[in-house]
Amino acid sequence: MEIKEVIFRGKKGVQLKTKQLTAVVLPENGGKVGSLKVNKTGLELYKQVPGDPEYKELTYDGDYCSADVYAFDDMFPTIDPWNNGKRTYADHGEVVRMPWKYEVNDKKGTLSMKVRSKFGEYEFSKVFSETDDGRLAINYTAENLTDENFPCLWAAHMMLEVQKDAVISFNDMEDSTAEIVFSTNDFLGKRGTKYKIHKGSDLLVNGRPDNVAYKYYVLEERKNLSYGCFDLEMEGCPYIGVWMNNGDFKNMKNVAIEVCTGGFDTPGDAKAHGHRTDIGSKSRRQWSIVLGTSEN
C-alpha cells in the first residue's frame, strides 16, 4: 500500500492507495476517512461537502450534526446518547470527537491509529492495510481498561454518494428482515415496524418521497454487502443499519451504511435485540471490515 501525508480541505491527512482504492484519513479530526475513490474511474464513493467549504471541526462537547459529518466516521461507544448507569456517552460517540495518534510503517505498508477515552475506560485502535487482491482492510480493537464490564457498540457511520439506479444487496442471503428505527412522519411505520426485503432492495427503490429520511436495521447477521460498485465485507461486526436521506437532512441525498458490532443505535437497545455489547474487564474485542470495488 502506498502511503503519504497530504492536505485535505485544509487538514492534515494520510493518503492510502491500494490497487483498487485511494483513501484519505484525518487522524487529528476523529480518525475520519474523508475520501474514498475508485482508482480506475476516479469515482468518489463517500459523500462530500457540496462546494468544498472550510472544514467544520467537531469538538468533544460540540454538536455532531453541525460539524463535518460527511464521509466515514467511527461511532464508539454508541451512536445515540446513552447513559450506562454512571455517565452518558456523547451523541454519535466519543472517538470521533478526539485527535488520534498514528504511526506509518512503510515496510509493512500499514497505518496504525489509536485513541484513549478521556475517562480512562478504553483504548480504541484501527490498522489500515492492503489485501492480496488490492482492497483496503481495517482491523479494529477495543480494549476495556477498567475492572468492570464496559457496555458499548461500534458502528461505521459511512455516508455514500448516491449511485444512479443502485441498490444495496446483501450478497450472502436472498431474503432479509428490516426493522424500522425511524422514518419522516412515520411514513414507513413507527419504530419497530418490520418488513421483509429481498437482498435489501425493497426499501431502496427509486420513487421514494423527496425530503424524507428513514433508517432500518437488518435483523439477520450478514458477512458482506454491495451498493453499486462499492463492496464491503465484515468479520465480527455482522449487523447492518441503513439510513436513507432523500433531502430531509441538510437538503442532501445520500445512502448511509452502518455496519456495526451491535445495532439499534445504543448499547441498551442492541442488548435488547440479543446483540453482544459488553467487553469484559481488562479484555479486548476485535473485528474488521474490507472495502473494495467491482470497478477494477
**Nine cell digits for residue 67:** 460539524
Note the pLDDT tens digit of each residue in 194-251.
988 876 555 554 456 678 889 999 999 999 999 999 999 999 999 999 998 887 777 7
More confident call, 189 vs 202: 189
Sign of torsion over alpha carbons 201, 72, 210, 165? negative
Grid coordinates standing for 197?
A: 426485503
Residue 152 CA, distance from chain mean position: 15
Task: Say if residue 52's pLDDT is above 80.
Answer: no
pTM above 0.85, yes or no: yes
CATH C-level class of 2-293: mainly beta
Each residue's pLDDT tens digit, 72-120? 999 999 999 999 999 999 999 999 999 999 999 999 999 999 999 999 9
Could you give the C-alpha distances from 206 to 35, 187, 211, in angstroms and in order? 26, 16, 14
pLDDT classification of 153: cutoffs 50, 70, 90 = very high
Residue recorded with cell 461511532: 75
Report CA Rg, the chain.
18
CA distance 118 to 115: 9
Average pLDDT over residues 162-179: 80
**Tell me: the pLDDT tens digits for 2-33?**
999 999 999 999 999 999 999 999 999 999 99
* Per-residue model confidence (pLDDT) at position 200: 56
Q: To which residue does cell 435488547 refer?
A: 272
Please report the sign of the dihedral spanned by the C-alpha atoms of residue 253, residue 258, residue 264, residue 267. Answer: negative
CB 141: neighbour CB atoms within 10 A? Answer: 15
- 3-state SS class at 270: helix
49 grid coordinates: 461537502
Residue range 281-285: average pLDDT?
A: 98
Q: How many other C-beta atoms can be found within 10 angstroms of the C-beta atom of residue 177?
A: 13
Share of the chain above pLDDT 90, in %: 75
Answer whether residue 169 shows pLDDT above 90. Answer: no
Per-residue pLDDT at 294: 93
pLDDT of residue 203: 58
- pLDDT level of residue 39 (50, 70, 90 thresholds): very high
Phi, psi of 31 (to 5 degrees): 70, 15
- Domain boundary assignment for the chain: 2-293
Which residues are 2's β-sheet partners? 17
